[in-house]
Amino acid sequence: MNPINNETINTILDLADGDSDILCDLLKSFLNDTKELLDGIKYSVINLNWEKLEFNVHTLKGLSATIGAVPLFEVCKQLNEDLKKGEIKKAISLVNSLNVKYIEVVDYIKSNYQVEDET
Identify which of 113, 82, 98 has the alpha carbon closest to the alpha carbon of residue 42: 98
Q: What is the mean pLDDT of residues 33-62?
A: 96
pLDDT, average across residues 14-24: 95
Closest CA to 73 of 30, 44, 24, 25: 30
Question: For residue 119, is pLDDT > 90?
Answer: no
State the average pLDDT for the chain.
Answer: 94
User: Span 58-85, mean pLDDT?
Assistant: 97
Q: Which of 23, 33, 34, 35 is nearest to 114 (CA)?
A: 23
Q: Please give the backbone phi and psi of residue 111, each rounded to the nearest 5 degrees, phi first.
A: -85, -30
The helix, strand and coil proportions of the chain, stated in percent and rounded to the nearest 5, come to 80, 0, 20
Alpha-carbon distance values, 61 to 67, 71, 80, 119 (Å): 10, 10, 8, 22
CA distance 65 to 78: 14
**If pLDDT is split at 50, 70 and 90, which confidence band does 115 have?**
confident
Residue-level pLDDT at 12 = 96
User: Is the per-residue pLDDT at 8 higher than 80?
Assistant: yes
So what's the pLDDT on residue 118? 72
Q: Is the pLDDT of residue 37 over 70?
A: yes
pLDDT of 42 higher than 70:
yes
pLDDT of residue 114: 86
Report whether 100 contacts 2 (CB < 8 A).
no
Query: Quick one: DSSP state of residue 118?
Result: -
Q: What is the mean pLDDT of residues 23-36?
A: 95
